[in-house]
Structure 1
Amino acid sequence: MDAAEGKRRAAAAALAEVQAGMRLGIGTGSTAEAFIHLLAVRVRDEGLRVVGVPTSERTAALCRDLGVPLTTLDELPELDLTIDGADEIDGALRLVKGGGGALLREKIVAASSARMIVIADGSKTVEALGAFPLPIEINPFGAVATRLQIEKAASRLGLNGPLALRRRDDRPFVTDGGHHILDASFGRIPDPEALSASLHAVPGVVEHGLFIGMATAAVIARGEDIEVRGAL
């Protein structure tokens, strides 16, 4: 089974948790897009009544194209459920997210939700976070100074590795919020909580891709099997 089919199967399993009348946070990325396509079928063919808050302009555009009703977090500041993908998942349901560049909005939406279900194929599971470069969203103002402060903060925790400014079409990648992203190749992160606190203490850091204590469950496709971690 290829990764795309694994994502679709995980998305289908999570979709079973969506009930009529729910206020949904809808994630960003290829796995979330698999969920959106399946959700749209239920909306169209079954008349499922839901309303979604998208975590990116990309997600919003796809939902509109497929007929999934949308609103904003200002209109619905409290959500029932967020369904989103992840770049890494460890055994404690700690995540690395942000490969798609939407980590700030993804974290805001997840924090506004009563539950967060992560959907993924088995390749996203790890014993320790850090194999996937950690996205760190920064303000463009003072970017060099912010980068140096991030390096110092990481070094105090014994973490070293290159920080690469994410680029697209030979220009710095710009998030929906107008920020830049540094992808930090720290390697294995022994203490994600300590790194999270240290990054938040750097003034130029807008947000980072460590999602700790946010996911309530993960639905992971492993071959023909579906593994559930946490409580759905």
Structure 2
Amino acid sequence: MEQSELKKMAAERAAEFVEDGMTLGLGTGSTVFFLVEAIAKRVKDEHLHIQGVATSSRTAEQAESLGIPMRDLNDVDHIDLCIDGADEIDANFQGIKGGGAAHTLEKMVATNSRRNIWIVDESKMVDHLGKFPLPTEVIPFGCEQVFRKLEAEGLHPHFRLNADGKRVLTHNKNYVIDLHMSNIKHPHILKNYLDAQVGILEHGLFLDLVDNVVVGTQDGVKVLTATRH
């Protein structure tokens, strides 16, 4: 099967976790696109009463166009379940997100959710994190200083550029510096280092966060329960 088919399988299976009355966190990306379609179908067919909190304007617009009421994160008192994609998930269920430069908003919604599910195709499951570049969101003021510090640490930073060769801007009008590390041996140590760097608003390490991973594979959909060592 094509990768898009695997993503759609995972998304449709994850939509089954949605229950009437829920406030849902809805992520960003190609797999979430299929998820929103599947949830909207259930809302229509089963007359579910739910509301969503999106991590991007793109997801919010899609959900609203399909009849899912959306709310701002500031206007809800809780989120029952957040469903989002991931760029890499290792054997200990630690993840990298931010390929779409929305990782700050995604992490805000995820950390305010009672439960988190990631939906991926099997190519996103890896032994060790790092092959996918790790995104950091950096404020423009002093960003070159941040870049030099990251470079001095051997983290191989690169400003993310768009097709015109200009620096990508996040929803918050900040830059993205991707760290091309190949193999992140100690994710928690790296997290602590990045958390301490003034000028880095947020990074794409999502650690000790996910509860279940729904994986689309050539052998069907697998629902994994997170275990950490």
Shorter-chain TM-score tier: over 0.9
SS of structure 2 residue aligned to 1:37: helix
Instruction: Confirm whether residue 186 of structure 1 aligns to residue 181 of structure 2.
Output: yes
Q: Could you tell me how far 1:164 is from its partner in structure 2?
A: 1.7
Deviations 1:183-222 (A, max 9, x none): 1111100000000110111101000000001111101111
Paired position in structure 2 for 1:16: 16
Unaligned runs of 5+ in 2: none
Structure 2 residue corresponding to 1:214, chosen from 209, 212, 224: 209
Q: Could you tell me how far 1:86 is from its partner in structure 2?
A: 0.3
Q: Which amino acid aligns with 2:13?
A: A
TM-score, length basis structure 1? 0.93
Q: Which amino acid aligns with 1:60?
A: A
SS of structure 2 residue aligned to 1:119: strand
Distance 2:41 2:219 in 1: 23
Runs of 4+ in 1 over 6 A off after TM superposition: none
Paired position in structure 2 for 1:129: 129
Distance 2:185 2:207 in 1: 14
Superposed counterparts of 1:72-221, under 5 Å? 72-152=72-152, 154-155=153-154, 160-161=155-156, 163-168=157-162, 169-221=164-216
SS of structure 2 residue aligned to 1:33: helix
SS of structure 2 residue aligned to 1:228: strand
Q: Could you tell me how far 1:224 is from its partner in structure 2?
A: 3.0
Say if 1:77 and 1:92 are closer, same or farther in 2 by CA, change over 3 A: farther
Distance 1:37 1:26 in 2: 12
Q: Could you tell me how far 1:23 is from its partner in structure 2?
A: 0.7
Q: Could you tell me how far 1:45 is from its partner in structure 2?
A: 2.6
Matched residue pairs, number? 225
Distance 1:94 1:51 in 2: 28
CA contact (8 A) 1:42 1:48 kept: yes
TM-score, length basis structure 2? 0.95
Instruction: Confirm whether residue 46 of structure 1 aligns to residue 46 of structure 2.
Output: yes
Unaligned runs of 5+ in 1: none
SS of structure 1 residue aligned to 2:100: coil
Paired position in structure 2 for 1:59: 59
RMSD value over aligned CA atoms? Answer: 1.2
